[in-house]
Amino acid sequence: MQIASWNVNSIRTRIQIVIDWLQSHPSVDLLCLQETKVIDPDFPHTPFTDLGYHTYIYGQKAYNGVALISRQPLSEVSCGFSPLVADVGDFDEQKRVISGVIDDIRIVNLYVPNGSAVGSDKYSYKLGWLEILRQYLEVLIKAQPNPKIVICGDFNVAVEDIDIHNAKKRETQVMATDLEREALQAVLQLGFKDVFRKFTPEAGHYSWWDYRSGGWKRNQGWRIDYHFATDVLYDKAIDCSIDTAPRALVQPSDHAPVILEF
Amino acid sequence: MQIASWNVNSIRTRIQIVIDWLQSHPSVDLLCLQETKVIDPDFPHTPFTDLGYHTYIYGQKAYNGVALISRQPLSEVSCGFSPLVADVGDFDEQKRVISGVIDDIRIVNLYVPNGSAVGSDKYSYKLGWLEILRQYLEVLIKAQPNPKIVICGDFNVAVEDIDIHNAKKRETQVMATDLEREALQAVLQLGFKDVFRKFTPEAGHYSWWDYRSGGWKRNQGWRIDYHFATDVLYDKAIDCSIDTAPRALVQPSDHAPVILEF
DNA sequence: GATTCTGAAG
DNA sequence: CTTCAGAATC
């Protein structure tokens, strides 16, 4: 089984690139999309359903938005943190969480807030959001012994310095500050491991290159898209890799897809 | 010699369509463009110069903008009404006039104001602009006996009822009111004739179809793009025709090119 | 209906 | 650098 994650930066702008990629990767069973940037009535279902995929979407106007594109029907699909988290505040107003079950495995597809700039309101929102995510996953992970859960998506945090092309002055850089890493670690300490690092320990592998300042040309990237898995699934994983090819196309997303295989 | 006129509705958006058209019409010596919608530093010269054309441009941000694309170098290129018209007021703020000489013929390439709605400020501006144009051409035409002048471009006026798909209620319609026609006739009475009508007297030939309400599909168009020539050139003309093919392409301009041949 | 700008966002 | 919304223009 293959589970892919891809921040497409607008599904309507990227639909042909995504469809072409799915057709050239027929072994992908589930594609988790982030930043679909479209309200549900306008989501382009037919390109996917024409290929035999089932679509599960959770979108809003202009920003955010997540989707699950699955060869098999999913069960227990849920959107947002509520009702698993009792007091979500306004953290479900932005559409960033969709989850479903395939082959007894729960997949949680996430688009973590970017955080804008260190110390900004959006930065505080990101830290608060990650704490709500921790509460949400705590409920899920404690619901059963030996849980089979994968959380994947765009986490907008580089978990280690080797996940950044240049870690100098990282503490001033959003996506790399200690506070963000600690908030994410509090999530992962529930029992999630970075599957990519099971196979690739060395530095220099990225999933996102800023459109600005020629980040892709100069391979100045960040690894901020992940699959984190519970022990039983981490142990079963046979590959986890980043497909950088779509980043080189014309009018690409700034993110590359990441594929996990059991 | 062939002189073409084409309102391209943004040269940057339409560059490939225009280049393809030039390559498939190698006998066009001079292409007069309107609505280039680009400031001079951003004009795409190289697609034209790579094909061996010389470019003369007069643009502004977002709106209006005219250009001359010529196989041979032009002489005496001038932009705007000034200094030929002494008191231009603010009529040179919008970039709508470029002129040059080729083979002893002066070409004046125009983008006449649209006028928005009858009775609006823009409608008054259009009438005032046409009077300034008359003064400008009066200077040019009186500078020599038997002048060789062609004025062409998007005039945003249908000179006769047969130039409109449906002339009912035309007096309420901008581009067809008596006041606009009279203002344009005052220009033409200096000594310019509509070359298209030398070859095609019948109704139903248009150069512009509104993007709205399926104007092109239903052939509900207007003839508002013209070549008006002085007597000696009118007599020498051997063809004047509208090439409707580019209007049928994907992402077309709402105008079709018009070609005059001597 | 199609294009452009501005401003916000990443 | 790229996207989206909303306004203005034609």
Region B64-77 average pLDDT: 97
Strand C at less than 7 A from CB of B62: yes
Sheet containing B193-194: give its strands across: B75-79, B97-102, B105-111, B149-154, B225-229, B193-194
Hey, where are the domains in chain A? 2-261
CATH number corresponding to B2-261:
3.60.10.10
Q: CA-to-C1' distance for A222 and D6, Å?
A: 33
Q: What does the pLDDT read at residue B167?
A: 84
Q: From residues 55-94 of A, which are strand C contacts by CB within 7 A?
A: 63
How far is it, in rounded angstroms, from Cα A77 to Cα A64? 18
Nucleotides of D under 7 A from a protein CB: 1-5, 9-10
Single-letter code of the amino acid located at B167: A
How far apart (Å, rounded) are the C-alpha atoms in residues A45 and A53? 9
Measured CA B63 to C1' D7 distance, in angstroms: 15
- The reported pTM is 0.88
- The pLDDT value recorded for residue A100 is 98
Residues 23-82 of A with CB under 7 A from strand D: 37-38, 61-62
pLDDT tens digit string along B130-140?
Answer: 999 999 999 99
What pLDDT does B169 receive? 81
Q: How far is the CA of A221 from the C1' of C10 (A)?
A: 15
- Look over chain A and give the mean of its residue pLDDT values, rounded to a whole number: 96
- Region B72-83: mean pLDDT is 96
* Strand C nucleotides within 7 Å of a protein CB: 1-6, 9-10
pLDDT at A215: 86
A169 pLDDT above the threshold of 90: no
Place of tokens 């830290």: A127
Q: How confident is the model at residue B15 (pLDDT cuts 50, 70, 90)?
A: very high
Strand C contact at CB of residue B139, distance < 7 A: no
pLDDT at B171: 86
Annotated active-site residue B206? The verdict is no
